[in-house]
Structure 1
Amino acid sequence: MESSAQLVIFAGLAIGLIYGAVGLLSGFCLMSSMRGWLAEGDGRLVRTYALAVAVAIAASQILAGGGTVDLGKSIYLQPTFSAPVLFLGGLLFGYGMVLSNGCGSRALVLLGRGNLRSFVVVIVLGIAAQMTLKGLIAPARIALVQVSQATANSNSLPSLLATLGLGETVSRTLAAAAIVVALMLFAFAHAGFRRSPGQIAAGIIVGLLVAGGWFVTGYLGADDFNPVPVTSLTFIAPIADALQYAMLSTGLTPNFGIATVAGVFAGSLTTALASGRFKLEGYSSPRHMLRSGSGAALMGIGGVMAFGCSIGQGLTGLSTLALASFVAVAGILLGTAAGLRGALRVQPLAVA
């Protein structure tokens, strides 16, 4: 394996280790954030997520604006995309996230803490994602994309502003600054969040990890003879790839995503053992398992359709300011909200 590819893998492992530790200690999760905000009236975690998005956008756009990383090589900034499929995928993922009580990254974190429910979620999510990427569901997904995709003159907020006659640097700066300032104001307007240094630190660290992923794959991994895909934190396809690698490692090559998945689990496990938080947990009933597995399947299918999850699109995709990412995230937020409130609300399970 080439040295640049090895460096990317080790860096991905390190990023995963940090994310796993931070995720366990802070409870970082979009679903938990929205549940706390919408259902329980606690807005601290959603502010943590908002701060992470703000930091990810600011740091990533600095890298892109300085020419260090070409975000245009990522999957998010493509000239054609299917807004209906992205939105539908986001809806499925968001609702599945509520059914499973957390996203794919959160499942990895909880698995490291000894939560065996998360083992089922990770396995089912990975299988459903692989089926949607390359298996039985793939032809239907591809057909939907082909009949609904369109070519956009502008594929990002900066390029949209550029159509008004603004220069590239000015467009990038204005778009990033407007969103970052709005998110920061939202985060720090909450008194409880301002008094939570751990949550503030978690938001900053996770946001920087997104930019770190871009730097690792887009700069350290930039090799004309053996280039690696330009990507950052995302968990749907990487979980599927990690499961496949675990079964067929002799015929596959590890990559940044697989290393990150392994790192998140290892980081969470190490932190749980060191802090005394490790505890084996299981399902309370067959119905609980069915609900959790169904949610995982929806996350796997929807995450592939949406080109990412609450982290892959909600943080990494948004950090590119891609219009497609805003569409996918809108679907994720709406699907999550539907599962938490309203007629489609997922009802709490009775304690056995």
Structure 2
Amino acid sequence: MFALPVVVGFAIGAVFGVVGLLSGFCLMSSLRDWWAHDDGRKIRSYALAVAVAIVGTQFIAGAGIVEIAKSLYLQPSFSAPLIFVGGLLFGLGMVLSNGCASRALVLLGKGNLRSLVVIAIIGVTAQMTLKGLLAPMRLSILQWTQMTPGANSVPSLLGTLGLQDTTARIAATLIVGGALLVFALSHRELRRSPGQLVAGLLMGLLVVAGWLTTGWLGADEFDPIPVASLTFVSPAADTLQFIMLSTGMTLNFGIALVAGVFIGSLLTALLTGRFEFEGYTSARHTGRSMAGAALMGIGGAMAYGCSIGQGLTGVSTLALPSFVAAAGIFVGAAIAIRGLALRPAFAAQ
């Protein structure tokens, strides 16, 4: 009998897979369309998802339903340089691999065999960085650069100005969430794209559902589980290890989430006639994709998340390290997209 958080985690992943396949929800393609093709619909849909996630997450946290302070995003000590560099590497990697970790899972469901290579490499390199050969280097950098600031989130930062906790949370939610909502909904083309509007709304709600699953449904003082939501780098590593060593591991929310995304995308692809096997077109294409996957695995482990894990879920907590990670991802993506634009022959491979 599977635990309830595992079952619900699989269901959340399945919905993510369906929406991701039908809408093309992906930060990398959103930024590429926005910067290279002047099409802002997807990036505004992503912004809408972040806004919805922030409002929903702050509501359940303020109501005392879920203690998001127990999540890894709101640790009192953190290393901004490590997180930024990790985000930078992840941003570079997701462009080189033509999609982030979550997008690779979605595309794997529709028969993209390149994504199988990407997911496998992300899992291996993330595990290497978290617990393997690269872990001592990561921990050394963390020890040299970590700090314990007076505030680790936007609400706590506003609290240093004398605002009460509840007031600070509401103000932070209105400022950050409101700005993102204005950015998203002020775009006429997004308002005329119901599919992208629904995708942004649903993805934001899935983040809230993830918090409720681990922090409320899964709350058990005798057998506690980590308070978490949507993220894919560490779960990809856990899933790979579970496939190899399942007898020595316990099925958890993250592994179920990964499985759900794949199954949801696969069923959608089969039902809509989108399933088609795809592979690499050249040795250069293969090498670029593999290098990007390695950067995503290493960078995601350093940054404690990916474009979804930090850019969506982490930012929903309004944690300052998550904004640092997101900034790194954006900078890395900008460098890579600009670099490939200057080398069209290389980008086409």
TM-score, normalized by length of structure 1? 0.97
Q: Give the match for residue 109 of structure 1.
A: 106
1:345 to partner: Cα distance: 5.9
CA shift, 1:346, in A, is 6.5
Change (3 A) 1:93 1:35: same
The structure 2 residue matched to 1:52, chosen from 49, 58, 65, is: 49
Distance 1:145 1:347 in 2: 38
Equivalent position amino acid for 2:282 in 1: S
1:145 aligns with 2:142: yes
For the 8 Å contact 1:98–1:346, the answer to whether it is kept is no
- Aligned-residue offset at 1:331: 0.3
Provide the C-alpha distance between the structure 2 equivalents of 1:300 and 1:350, rounded to a whole number of angstroms: 21
Shift of 1:183: 0.8
- Deviation per CA, 1:194-223, whole angstroms, max 9, x where unpaired? 100010000000000000000000011110
Residue identity opposite 2:74 in structure 1: L
Is the contact made by 1:339 and 1:345 (CA closer than 8 Å) also made in structure 2? no
Q: What percent of counterpart residues are identical?
A: 62
1:153 shift after superposition: 1.0
Aligned to 2:223: 226
Q: For residue 342 of structure 1, report the CA deviation from its aligned partner.
A: 5.2
Look up the equivalent residue of 2:123 and give its one-letter code: G
Structure 1 residues 264-279: aligned runs within 5 Å: 264-279=261-276
Match of 1:100 among 88, 97, 102: 97
Equivalence for 1:245: 242
Task: Report the equivalent of 1:70.
Answer: 67
Structure 1 position 281 matched with structure 2 position 278 = yes
The 2-side partners of 1:77 and 1:35 are apart by 30
Q: Deviations over 1:29-48 (max 9, x none)?
A: 00000000001111100011
Partner of 1:83 in structure 2?
80
Match of 1:7?
4
Q: What CA distance in whole angstroms lies between the structure 2 residues aligned with 1:249 and 1:130? A: 16
Q: CA RMSD in A?
A: 1.3
Counterpart of 1:124 in structure 2 is: 121
Match of 1:136 in 2: 133
| 2:171 is equivalent to residue 174 of structure 1 | yes
The 4+ residue runs of structure 1 with deviation greater than 3 A are 342-352
Task: Name the CA distance, whole Å, in 1 between partners of 2:16 and 2:104.
Answer: 13
Query: Is the 8 Å Cα contact of residues 340 and 347 (structure 2) preserved in structure 1?
Result: no
Q: Does structure 1 conserve the Cα–Cα contact (< 8 Å) formed by 2:96 and 2:336?
A: yes
Is the 8 Å Cα contact of residues 340 and 346 (structure 1) preserved in structure 2? no
Q: Is the 8 A contact 1:99 1:346 kept in 2?
A: no
Mapping 1:203-222, distance limit 5 Å: 203-222=200-219
Are the equivalent residues in 1 in contact too, given 2:42–2:196 (CA < 8 A)? yes
Cα displacement string for residues 48-95 of structure 1 (whole angstroms, at most 9, x for unaligned residues): 100000000000000000000000000000010000000000000000
CA distance in 1, matches of 2:28, 2:117: 18
Q: Is there any run of 5+ residues in structure 1 with no aligned partner, and where?
A: none
Task: Spell out the pairing of 1:338-349 with structure 2 (5 A cutoff).
Answer: 338-341=335-338, 347-349=344-346
